[in-house]
Amino acid sequence: MSIKVAIVEDSTRVRESLAALIGGSDGFRCVGTFPNAEAALAGIPKEWPDVILMDINLPKMSGIECVSKLKVLRPALQIIMVTVYIENEKIFQSMVAGASGYLIKQTPPAEILEAISDVHRGGSPMSSHIARKLVQYVAQVAQVARPAEKMELSPREHEILCLLAKGYQYKEIAESLTISVETVRTHLRNIYEKLHVRSRTEAVVKFLEQKGT
Amino acid sequence: MSIKVAIVEDSTRVRESLAALIGGSDGFRCVGTFPNAEAALAGIPKEWPDVILMDINLPKMSGIECVSKLKVLRPALQIIMVTVYIENEKIFQSMVAGASGYLIKQTPPAEILEAISDVHRGGSPMSSHIARKLVQYVAQVAQVARPAEKMELSPREHEILCLLAKGYQYKEIAESLTISVETVRTHLRNIYEKLHVRSRTEAVVKFLEQKGT
DNA sequence: CTCGGGATACTACTTTCGGGGGATAGGGAA
DNA sequence: TTCCCTATCCCCCGAAAGTAGTATCCCGAG
Protein backbone atom coordinates (compact mmCIF):
# COMPACT_ATOMS: atom_id res chain seq x y z
CA MET A 1 0.00 0.00 0.00
CA SER A 2 1.58 3.24 -1.10
CA ILE A 3 1.55 6.40 0.96
CA LYS A 4 -0.98 8.93 -0.25
CA VAL A 5 0.47 12.40 -0.37
CA ALA A 6 -1.12 15.76 -1.00
CA ILE A 7 0.76 18.95 -1.80
CA VAL A 8 -0.17 22.49 -0.85
CA GLU A 9 2.20 24.95 -2.46
CA ASP A 10 1.62 28.21 -4.26
CA SER A 11 4.61 28.07 -6.58
CA THR A 12 3.47 26.17 -9.63
CA ARG A 13 6.98 25.03 -10.45
CA VAL A 14 7.72 23.66 -7.00
CA ARG A 15 4.29 22.10 -6.74
CA GLU A 16 4.62 20.27 -10.00
CA SER A 17 8.12 19.08 -9.39
CA LEU A 18 7.08 17.71 -6.01
CA ALA A 19 4.08 16.04 -7.58
CA ALA A 20 6.30 14.52 -10.25
CA LEU A 21 8.74 13.28 -7.63
CA ILE A 22 6.06 11.65 -5.57
CA GLY A 23 4.04 10.32 -8.47
CA GLY A 24 7.16 8.80 -9.98
CA SER A 25 8.37 7.03 -6.89
CA ASP A 26 7.44 3.56 -5.77
CA GLY A 27 5.48 3.46 -2.59
CA PHE A 28 4.14 7.00 -2.96
CA ARG A 29 1.07 8.35 -4.64
CA CYS A 30 0.10 11.95 -5.15
CA VAL A 31 -3.60 12.34 -4.46
CA GLY A 32 -3.92 16.06 -4.78
CA THR A 33 -2.09 19.34 -5.37
CA PHE A 34 -3.39 22.70 -4.24
CA PRO A 35 -2.08 26.19 -4.86
CA ASN A 36 -3.47 27.67 -1.63
CA ALA A 37 -4.94 26.89 1.76
CA GLU A 38 -8.52 27.51 0.71
CA ALA A 39 -8.35 25.04 -2.15
CA ALA A 40 -6.67 22.53 0.15
CA LEU A 41 -9.40 22.80 2.77
CA ALA A 42 -11.99 22.25 0.10
CA GLY A 43 -10.26 19.44 -1.75
CA ILE A 44 -8.33 17.41 0.82
CA PRO A 45 -11.38 16.09 2.70
CA LYS A 46 -12.57 14.51 -0.51
CA GLU A 47 -9.73 12.04 -0.56
CA TRP A 48 -7.79 12.11 2.64
CA PRO A 49 -4.08 11.64 2.07
CA ASP A 50 -1.77 10.07 4.64
CA VAL A 51 0.74 12.86 4.48
CA ILE A 52 0.59 16.49 3.41
CA LEU A 53 3.45 18.63 2.27
CA MET A 54 2.38 22.11 3.28
CA ASP A 55 4.07 25.32 2.28
CA ILE A 56 4.23 27.68 5.23
CA ASN A 57 3.88 30.88 3.31
CA LEU A 58 0.72 30.82 1.32
CA PRO A 59 -1.29 33.73 0.00
CA LYS A 60 -4.19 34.72 2.25
CA MET A 61 -4.54 31.94 4.78
CA SER A 62 -1.17 30.71 5.95
CA GLY A 63 -0.10 27.12 5.87
CA ILE A 64 -0.05 27.12 9.63
CA GLU A 65 -3.68 28.03 9.92
CA CYS A 66 -4.53 25.51 7.27
CA VAL A 67 -2.79 22.84 9.35
CA SER A 68 -4.88 23.79 12.36
CA LYS A 69 -8.12 23.42 10.47
CA LEU A 70 -7.15 20.15 8.83
CA LYS A 71 -5.96 18.67 12.09
CA VAL A 72 -9.30 19.38 13.68
CA LEU A 73 -11.03 17.52 10.88
CA ARG A 74 -8.62 14.61 10.96
CA PRO A 75 -6.11 14.42 13.78
CA ALA A 76 -4.34 11.42 12.28
CA LEU A 77 -3.14 13.50 9.32
CA GLN A 78 0.62 13.75 9.15
CA ILE A 79 1.85 17.07 7.95
CA ILE A 80 5.29 18.22 6.90
CA MET A 81 5.85 21.94 6.62
CA VAL A 82 7.89 23.10 3.68
CA THR A 83 9.56 26.45 3.43
CA VAL A 84 12.44 28.29 1.87
CA TYR A 85 14.25 29.29 5.01
CA ILE A 86 14.21 28.63 8.73
CA GLU A 87 11.94 30.85 10.78
CA ASN A 88 11.96 30.00 14.44
CA GLU A 89 8.61 31.50 15.26
CA LYS A 90 6.86 29.71 12.45
CA ILE A 91 8.40 26.42 13.38
CA PHE A 92 6.83 26.60 16.81
CA GLN A 93 3.54 27.82 15.49
CA SER A 94 3.51 24.93 13.07
CA MET A 95 4.24 22.42 15.79
CA VAL A 96 1.48 23.83 17.90
CA ALA A 97 -0.89 23.73 14.98
CA GLY A 98 -0.17 20.06 14.61
CA ALA A 99 2.53 19.66 12.00
CA SER A 100 5.07 16.93 12.59
CA GLY A 101 7.93 17.64 10.26
CA TYR A 102 9.80 20.53 8.78
CA LEU A 103 11.60 20.61 5.45
CA ILE A 104 13.64 23.18 3.64
CA LYS A 105 12.71 23.48 -0.03
CA GLN A 106 16.15 22.71 -1.34
CA THR A 107 16.12 19.33 0.36
CA PRO A 108 17.29 16.59 -2.05
CA PRO A 109 14.47 14.48 -3.55
CA ALA A 110 15.59 11.31 -1.84
CA GLU A 111 15.42 13.00 1.54
CA ILE A 112 12.00 14.39 0.82
CA LEU A 113 10.72 10.90 0.15
CA GLU A 114 12.52 9.66 3.23
CA ALA A 115 10.87 12.39 5.30
CA ILE A 116 7.45 11.45 4.00
CA SER A 117 7.77 7.80 4.92
CA ASP A 118 9.41 8.84 8.15
CA VAL A 119 6.51 10.99 9.25
CA HIS A 120 4.17 8.26 8.11
CA ARG A 121 5.96 5.84 10.44
CA GLY A 122 5.45 8.23 13.34
CA GLY A 123 8.68 10.16 13.25
CA SER A 124 9.30 13.88 12.99
CA PRO A 125 11.74 14.56 10.22
CA MET A 126 13.58 17.83 10.67
CA SER A 127 17.10 19.15 10.45
CA SER A 128 19.16 18.86 13.58
CA HIS A 129 19.35 22.63 13.55
CA ILE A 130 15.64 22.86 14.03
CA ALA A 131 15.74 20.07 16.57
CA ARG A 132 18.15 22.18 18.58
CA LYS A 133 15.60 24.97 18.74
CA LEU A 134 13.07 22.55 20.10
CA VAL A 135 15.50 21.25 22.67
CA GLN A 136 16.23 24.75 23.85
CA TYR A 137 12.55 25.49 24.08
CA VAL A 138 11.82 22.39 26.11
CA ALA A 139 14.72 23.05 28.43
CA GLN A 140 13.58 26.60 28.94
CA VAL A 141 9.97 25.73 29.63
CA ALA A 142 10.90 22.98 32.05
CA GLN A 143 13.01 25.40 34.02
CA VAL A 144 9.85 27.06 35.22
CA ALA A 145 8.18 23.93 36.42
CA ARG A 146 11.29 22.85 38.26
CA PRO A 147 10.58 22.21 41.90
CA ALA A 148 11.71 25.04 44.07
CA GLU A 149 13.64 24.16 47.16
CA LYS A 150 11.85 25.60 50.11
CA MET A 151 13.63 27.64 52.70
CA GLU A 152 12.86 28.47 56.25
CA LEU A 153 11.33 31.88 56.17
CA SER A 154 10.65 33.56 59.47
CA PRO A 155 6.97 34.27 60.26
CA ARG A 156 7.49 37.93 59.61
CA GLU A 157 9.18 37.28 56.31
CA HIS A 158 6.41 34.96 55.29
CA GLU A 159 3.88 37.61 56.13
CA ILE A 160 5.63 40.12 53.96
CA LEU A 161 5.94 37.66 51.12
CA CYS A 162 2.19 37.07 51.28
CA LEU A 163 1.50 40.73 50.87
CA LEU A 164 4.04 40.93 48.09
CA ALA A 165 2.18 38.14 46.32
CA LYS A 166 -0.97 40.24 46.45
CA GLY A 167 0.77 42.82 44.37
CA TYR A 168 1.32 45.25 47.21
CA GLN A 169 4.00 47.85 46.85
CA TYR A 170 6.65 48.38 49.50
CA LYS A 171 4.79 51.42 50.73
CA GLU A 172 1.56 49.53 51.10
CA ILE A 173 3.19 46.63 52.87
CA ALA A 174 4.83 49.02 55.27
CA GLU A 175 1.55 50.74 56.05
CA SER A 176 -0.33 47.51 56.40
CA LEU A 177 2.20 46.14 58.89
CA THR A 178 2.90 49.50 60.50
CA ILE A 179 6.60 49.39 59.89
CA SER A 180 8.81 51.56 57.75
CA VAL A 181 9.47 50.99 54.10
CA GLU A 182 13.11 50.52 54.96
CA THR A 183 12.28 47.57 57.12
CA VAL A 184 10.29 46.08 54.32
CA ARG A 185 13.30 46.46 52.11
CA THR A 186 15.52 44.73 54.61
CA HIS A 187 13.12 41.84 54.97
CA LEU A 188 12.78 41.50 51.25
CA ARG A 189 16.52 41.49 50.89
CA ASN A 190 16.70 38.58 53.33
CA ILE A 191 13.84 36.78 51.64
CA TYR A 192 15.46 37.06 48.23
CA GLU A 193 18.64 35.66 49.60
CA LYS A 194 16.91 32.72 51.21
CA LEU A 195 14.93 31.93 48.10
CA HIS A 196 17.85 32.55 45.76
CA VAL A 197 15.96 35.03 43.66
CA ARG A 198 16.62 38.58 42.58
CA SER A 199 13.22 40.10 42.09
CA ARG A 200 9.78 40.25 43.61
CA THR A 201 8.32 38.46 40.64
CA GLU A 202 10.57 35.44 41.05
CA ALA A 203 9.90 35.39 44.76
CA VAL A 204 6.15 35.47 44.22
CA VAL A 205 6.31 32.71 41.63
CA LYS A 206 8.23 30.47 44.02
CA PHE A 207 5.88 31.35 46.81
CA LEU A 208 2.78 30.48 44.83
CA GLU A 209 4.26 27.28 43.51
CA GLN A 210 5.10 26.10 46.98
CA LYS A 211 1.74 27.09 48.27
CA GLY A 212 0.05 25.04 45.59
CA THR A 213 2.20 22.01 46.36
CA MET B 1 41.39 21.41 14.11
CA SER B 2 39.84 18.17 15.17
CA ILE B 3 36.89 17.90 17.52
CA LYS B 4 37.89 16.84 21.01
CA VAL B 5 35.59 14.17 22.35
CA ALA B 6 35.28 12.62 25.80
CA ILE B 7 33.38 9.45 26.59
CA VAL B 8 31.52 8.61 29.76
CA GLU B 9 30.28 5.05 29.66
CA ASP B 10 30.35 2.28 32.21
CA SER B 11 30.50 -0.65 29.84
CA THR B 12 34.16 -1.21 29.12
CA ARG B 13 33.46 -2.80 25.77
CA VAL B 14 31.25 0.02 24.51
CA ARG B 15 33.59 2.63 25.92
CA GLU B 16 36.60 1.20 24.19
CA SER B 17 34.90 0.66 20.91
CA LEU B 18 33.67 4.25 20.93
CA ALA B 19 37.14 5.47 21.83
CA ALA B 20 38.61 3.40 19.02
CA LEU B 21 36.09 4.76 16.56
CA ILE B 22 36.75 8.35 17.50
CA GLY B 23 40.49 8.01 17.84
CA GLY B 24 40.70 6.33 14.47
CA SER B 25 38.69 8.90 12.54
CA ASP B 26 40.03 12.02 10.88
CA GLY B 27 38.78 15.22 12.45
CA PHE B 28 38.09 13.61 15.81
CA ARG B 29 40.23 13.15 18.84
CA CYS B 30 39.39 11.28 22.00
CA VAL B 31 40.65 13.25 24.97
CA GLY B 32 39.28 11.14 27.75
CA THR B 33 37.25 8.10 28.67
CA PHE B 34 35.51 7.65 32.01
CA PRO B 35 33.64 4.70 33.45
CA ASN B 36 31.35 6.76 35.69
CA ALA B 37 30.07 10.25 36.43
CA GLU B 38 32.37 10.85 39.36
CA ALA B 39 35.49 10.15 37.35
CA ALA B 40 34.14 12.33 34.54
CA LEU B 41 33.54 15.27 36.85
CA ALA B 42 37.06 14.93 38.15
CA GLY B 43 38.80 14.39 34.85
CA ILE B 44 36.92 16.35 32.22
CA PRO B 45 37.74 19.80 33.61
CA LYS B 46 41.43 19.01 33.17
CA GLU B 47 41.15 18.98 29.44
CA TRP B 48 37.83 20.28 28.28
CA PRO B 49 36.54 18.43 25.25
CA ASP B 50 34.25 19.98 22.67
CA VAL B 51 31.74 17.18 22.78
CA ILE B 52 30.90 14.53 25.34
CA LEU B 53 29.23 11.21 24.70
CA MET B 54 27.42 10.50 27.93
CA ASP B 55 25.77 7.27 28.87
CA ILE B 56 22.45 7.93 30.57
CA ASN B 57 22.51 5.00 32.93
CA LEU B 58 25.61 5.14 35.05
CA PRO B 59 26.22 3.56 38.44
CA LYS B 60 25.64 5.94 41.36
CA MET B 61 25.31 9.40 39.84
CA SER B 62 23.31 9.30 36.62
CA GLY B 63 24.52 10.70 33.36
CA ILE B 64 21.78 13.31 33.55
CA GLU B 65 23.01 14.68 36.82
CA CYS B 66 26.53 14.62 35.52
CA VAL B 67 25.39 16.72 32.55
CA SER B 68 23.87 19.28 34.91
CA LYS B 69 27.07 19.66 36.83
CA LEU B 70 29.29 19.87 33.79
CA LYS B 71 27.02 22.38 32.10
CA VAL B 72 27.27 24.66 35.10
CA LEU B 73 31.03 24.55 34.88
CA ARG B 74 31.10 25.05 31.13
CA PRO B 75 27.86 25.96 29.39
CA ALA B 76 29.45 25.73 25.96
CA LEU B 77 29.97 22.01 26.33
CA GLN B 78 28.03 20.01 23.80
CA ILE B 79 26.70 16.76 25.13
CA ILE B 80 25.17 13.78 23.38
CA MET B 81 23.32 11.31 25.51
CA VAL B 82 23.85 7.67 24.65
CA THR B 83 21.57 4.87 25.73
CA VAL B 84 20.35 1.45 24.83
CA TYR B 85 16.71 2.26 24.37
CA ILE B 86 14.37 5.22 24.20
CA GLU B 87 13.05 6.45 27.51
CA ASN B 88 10.83 9.47 27.14
CA GLU B 89 11.25 10.77 30.63
CA LYS B 90 15.00 10.57 30.50
CA ILE B 91 15.09 12.31 27.19
CA PHE B 92 13.35 15.31 28.65
CA GLN B 93 15.39 15.27 31.80
CA SER B 94 18.51 15.22 29.69
CA MET B 95 17.35 18.13 27.61
CA VAL B 96 16.58 20.10 30.70
CA ALA B 97 19.96 19.24 32.15
CA GLY B 98 21.57 20.69 29.07
CA ALA B 99 22.23 17.84 26.68
CA SER B 100 21.80 18.58 23.00
CA GLY B 101 21.69 15.24 21.26
CA TYR B 102 20.43 11.76 21.81
CA LEU B 103 21.85 8.56 20.36
CA ILE B 104 20.89 4.92 20.57
CA LYS B 105 23.85 2.64 21.19
CA GLN B 106 23.37 0.56 18.12
CA THR B 107 23.73 3.61 15.91
CA PRO B 108 26.14 2.88 13.01
CA PRO B 109 29.66 4.30 13.49
CA ALA B 110 29.33 6.73 10.61
CA GLU B 111 26.22 8.23 12.13
CA ILE B 112 27.85 8.55 15.50
CA LEU B 113 30.64 10.61 13.97
CA GLU B 114 28.09 12.59 12.03
CA ALA B 115 26.18 13.29 15.22
CA ILE B 116 29.32 14.50 16.96
CA SER B 117 30.21 16.98 14.28
CA ASP B 118 26.58 17.91 14.02
CA VAL B 119 26.26 18.84 17.65
CA HIS B 120 29.56 20.65 17.39
CA ARG B 121 28.10 22.77 14.60
CA GLY B 122 25.16 23.70 16.79
CA GLY B 123 22.66 21.08 15.78
CA SER B 124 20.79 18.57 17.88
CA PRO B 125 21.24 15.14 16.39
CA MET B 126 18.46 12.77 17.30
CA SER B 127 16.25 10.25 15.64
CA SER B 128 13.08 11.56 14.11
CA HIS B 129 11.28 9.38 16.57
CA ILE B 130 12.66 11.33 19.45
CA ALA B 131 12.07 14.56 17.60
CA ARG B 132 8.43 13.60 17.43
CA LYS B 133 8.29 13.32 21.19
CA LEU B 134 9.66 16.80 21.46
CA VAL B 135 7.17 18.14 18.96
CA GLN B 136 4.31 16.59 20.87
CA TYR B 137 5.61 18.04 24.07
CA VAL B 138 5.85 21.52 22.63
CA ALA B 139 2.41 21.28 21.11
CA GLN B 140 0.97 20.03 24.37
CA VAL B 141 2.55 22.73 26.46
CA ALA B 142 1.28 25.38 24.12
CA GLN B 143 -2.19 23.85 24.17
CA VAL B 144 -2.38 24.10 27.92
CA ALA B 145 -1.36 27.68 27.92
CA ARG B 146 -3.79 28.60 25.21
CA PRO B 147 -7.24 28.20 26.82
CA ALA B 148 -6.00 30.28 29.73
CA GLU B 149 -6.21 33.42 27.68
CA LYS B 150 -9.80 34.23 28.32
CA MET B 151 -8.58 37.73 28.71
CA GLU B 152 -8.18 38.22 24.98
CA LEU B 153 -4.43 38.40 25.06
CA SER B 154 -2.80 38.13 21.67
CA PRO B 155 -0.40 35.22 21.16
CA ARG B 156 2.52 37.57 21.40
CA GLU B 157 1.27 39.13 24.59
CA HIS B 158 0.74 35.72 26.06
CA GLU B 159 4.26 34.78 25.17
CA ILE B 160 5.63 37.83 26.88
CA LEU B 161 3.52 37.22 29.94
CA CYS B 162 4.94 33.72 30.14
CA LEU B 163 8.44 35.06 30.24
CA LEU B 164 7.44 37.69 32.74
CA ALA B 165 6.12 34.92 34.94
CA LYS B 166 9.54 33.35 34.89
CA GLY B 167 10.92 36.44 36.54
CA TYR B 168 12.54 37.78 33.40
CA GLN B 169 13.34 41.45 33.22
CA TYR B 170 12.36 43.58 30.26
CA LYS B 171 15.86 43.35 28.93
CA GLU B 172 15.90 39.58 29.13
CA ILE B 173 12.51 39.22 27.51
CA ALA B 174 13.63 41.47 24.72
CA GLU B 175 16.75 39.43 24.11
CA SER B 176 14.95 36.15 24.32
CA LEU B 177 12.38 37.22 21.73
CA THR B 178 14.82 39.24 19.67
CA ILE B 179 12.83 42.43 19.91
CA SER B 180 13.60 45.75 21.53
CA VAL B 181 12.93 46.58 25.14
CA GLU B 182 10.55 49.27 23.97
CA THR B 183 8.40 46.72 22.26
CA VAL B 184 8.32 44.66 25.40
CA ARG B 185 7.26 47.72 27.35
CA THR B 186 4.50 48.45 24.90
CA HIS B 187 3.21 44.91 25.07
CA LEU B 188 3.34 44.96 28.83
CA ARG B 189 1.37 48.18 28.94
CA ASN B 190 -1.29 46.60 26.77
CA ILE B 191 -1.29 43.46 28.88
CA TYR B 192 -1.71 45.46 32.08
CA GLU B 193 -4.52 47.32 30.46
CA LYS B 194 -6.30 44.14 29.44
CA LEU B 195 -5.81 42.44 32.78
CA HIS B 196 -6.68 45.53 34.74
CA VAL B 197 -3.51 45.46 36.77
CA ARG B 198 -0.74 47.94 37.26
CA SER B 199 2.31 45.88 38.06
CA ARG B 200 4.14 42.83 36.84
CA THR B 201 3.51 41.04 40.07
CA GLU B 202 -0.25 41.36 39.80
CA ALA B 203 -0.14 40.31 36.19
CA VAL B 204 1.90 37.24 37.02
CA VAL B 205 -0.41 36.27 39.87
CA LYS B 206 -3.43 36.47 37.60
CA PHE B 207 -1.61 34.56 34.94
CA LEU B 208 -0.60 31.74 37.24
CA GLU B 209 -4.03 31.50 38.79
CA GLN B 210 -5.73 31.22 35.47
CA LYS B 211 -3.18 28.75 34.24
CA GLY B 212 -3.83 26.51 37.22
CA THR B 213 -7.57 26.59 36.59
C1' DC C 1 26.89 36.43 80.33
C1' DT C 2 27.84 36.56 75.39
C1' DC C 3 26.59 35.45 70.85
C1' DG C 4 23.35 35.04 67.03
C1' DG C 5 19.13 35.60 64.65
C1' DG C 6 15.07 38.17 63.90
C1' DA C 7 12.90 42.52 63.58
C1' DT C 8 13.44 47.16 63.25
C1' DA C 9 15.38 51.49 60.95
C1' DC C 10 18.38 54.76 58.22
C1' DT C 11 21.49 56.71 54.42
C1' DA C 12 22.96 56.63 49.81
C1' DC C 13 23.05 55.00 45.27
C1' DT C 14 21.82 52.37 40.78
C1' DT C 15 18.69 50.06 37.97
C1' DT C 16 14.23 48.76 36.52
C1' DC C 17 9.37 49.80 36.00
C1' DG C 18 5.25 51.99 34.70
C1' DG C 19 2.85 55.89 32.56
C1' DG C 20 2.73 59.48 29.11
C1' DG C 21 3.45 60.80 24.72
C1' DG C 22 4.02 59.20 19.31
C1' DA C 23 5.11 56.48 15.07
C1' DT C 24 5.23 52.89 11.30
C1' DA C 25 4.16 48.65 8.74
C1' DG C 26 1.08 44.90 7.62
C1' DG C 27 -3.28 42.35 7.74
C1' DG C 28 -7.95 41.90 8.14
C1' DA C 29 -12.57 43.86 8.70
C1' DA C 30 -15.95 47.11 7.42
C1' DT D 1 -10.27 52.32 0.49
C1' DT D 2 -10.44 53.48 5.16
C1' DC D 3 -10.23 51.95 9.84
C1' DC D 4 -8.67 49.03 13.49
C1' DC D 5 -5.62 45.72 15.56
C1' DT D 6 -1.10 43.72 16.20
C1' DA D 7 3.55 44.09 16.52
C1' DT D 8 7.26 46.76 16.27
C1' DC D 9 10.15 50.88 17.90
C1' DC D 10 11.51 55.54 20.21
C1' DC D 11 11.78 59.44 23.94
C1' DC D 12 10.99 61.42 28.53
C1' DC D 13 10.36 61.21 33.41
C1' DG D 14 9.24 60.13 38.03
C1' DA D 15 8.33 56.40 41.04
C1' DA D 16 9.37 51.90 42.61
C1' DA D 17 12.46 48.30 43.34
C1' DG D 18 16.87 46.52 44.35
C1' DT D 19 21.93 46.88 46.39
C1' DA D 20 25.13 47.95 50.12
C1' DG D 21 26.56 49.08 54.50
C1' DT D 22 25.34 49.95 59.28
C1' DA D 23 23.00 50.01 63.63
C1' DT D 24 19.78 49.32 67.53
C1' DC D 25 16.81 46.23 70.42
C1' DC D 26 15.12 41.92 72.17
C1' DC D 27 15.26 37.22 73.18
C1' DG D 28 16.77 32.62 73.60
C1' DA D 29 20.77 29.19 73.38
C1' DG D 30 25.03 28.05 74.85
Which phi and psi angles does A84 have, rounded to 5°? -85, -35
Give A124's contacts in chain B (Cβ within 8 Å): 128-129, 131-132, 134-135
Helix/strand/coil (H/E/C) assignment for every residue in A50-111: CEEEEECCCCCCCHHHHHHHHHHHCCCCEEEEEECCCCHHHHHHHHHHCCCEEEECCCCHHH
Q: For residue B13, what pLDDT is reported?
A: 92
pLDDT at position B146: 43
Is the Cβ–Cβ distance between A41 and A70 less than 8 Å? Answer: yes
| Residues of chain B with a CB closer than 8 angstroms to some CB in chain A | 92, 95-96, 98, 100-101, 118-119, 122-129, 131-132, 134-135, 137-139, 141-143, 164-167, 169, 197, 199-202, 204-205, 208, 212
Per-residue CB contacts under 7 A with strand D, chain A residues 138-197: 169-171, 185-186, 188-189, 192
pLDDT of residue B149: 38
pLDDT in tens, A32-57: 898 888 888 888 888 889 999 998 88
pLDDT at position A124, please? 87
Please check the confidence at residue A147 and state whether its pLDDT lies above 70. no
Average pLDDT, chain A: 83
What order do you get walking across the sheet with A51-55 strand by strand?
A28-34, A3-8, A51-55, A78-83, A101-104
Q: Do A126 and B128 touch (CB under 8 A)?
A: yes
* Predicted TM-score (pTM) of this structure: 0.64
3-state SS track over chain A = CCEEEEEECCCHHHHHHHHHHHHCCCCEEEEEEECCHHHHHHHHHHCCCCEEEEECCCCCCCHHHHHHHHHHHCCCCEEEEEECCCCHHHHHHHHHHCCCEEEECCCCHHHHHHHHHHHHCCCCCCCHHHHHHHHHHHHHHHHHHCCCCCCCCCHHHHHHHHHHHCCCCHHHHHHHHCCCHHHHHHHHHHHHHHHCCCCHHHHHHHHHHHHHC
* pLDDT confidence of residue A212: 65
| Portion of chain A with pLDDT greater than 70, in percent | 89
Instruction: Kindly report the nearest CA distance between residue A34 and chain B, in angstroms.
Output: 26
- State which nucleotides on strand C lie below 7 Å from a protein beta carbon: 5-12, 16-23, 28
The string of pLDDT tens digits covering residues A155-181 is 888 889 989 999 999 999 998 888 999
DSSP codes joined into one string, B121-182: TT-----HHHHHHHHHHHHHHHHHHSTT-TT---HHHHHHHHHHTTT--HHHHHHHHTS-HH
> Is residue B135 within 8 Å of residue A100, measured between CB atoms?
yes
Query: What whole-number distance in Å separates Cα of residue A54 and Cα of residue A57?
Result: 9
Whether residue B201 and residue A164 make contact (CB cut-off 8 A), yes or no, is: yes
Lowest-confidence region among B64-68, B143-147, B167-171: B143-147
Maximum average pLDDT range among A57-61, A127-131, B60-64: B60-64
Position with higher pLDDT, B85 vs A170: A170
Residue A148 has pLDDT above 50, yes or no: no
Q: What is the mean pLDDT of chain B?
A: 84
Mean pLDDT score, A118-131: 85
Q: Please, are residues B5 and B49 in contact by the beta-carbon 8 Å criterion?
A: yes
Does A205 contact B132 at a Cβ distance shorter than 8 Å? no
- B93 to chain A: nearest residue by CA? A139
Predicted confidence (pLDDT) at residue B85 exceeds the cutoff of 70 = yes
Confidence label for A199 from pLDDT (cuts 50, 70 and 90): very high
Highest mean pLDDT among A28-42, A127-141, B5-19, B48-62: B5-19
Q: What is the pLDDT of residues A65-121, one digit of tens each?
A: 888 888 877 878 899 998 877 666 677 778 777 888 888 888 898 989 999 998 998
Q: How far apart are CA A165 and CA A211, in angstroms?
A: 11
Number of alpha carbons in the 13 Å side-chain half-sphere of residue B79: 31
Share of residues in chain B with pLDDT > 90 (%): 33
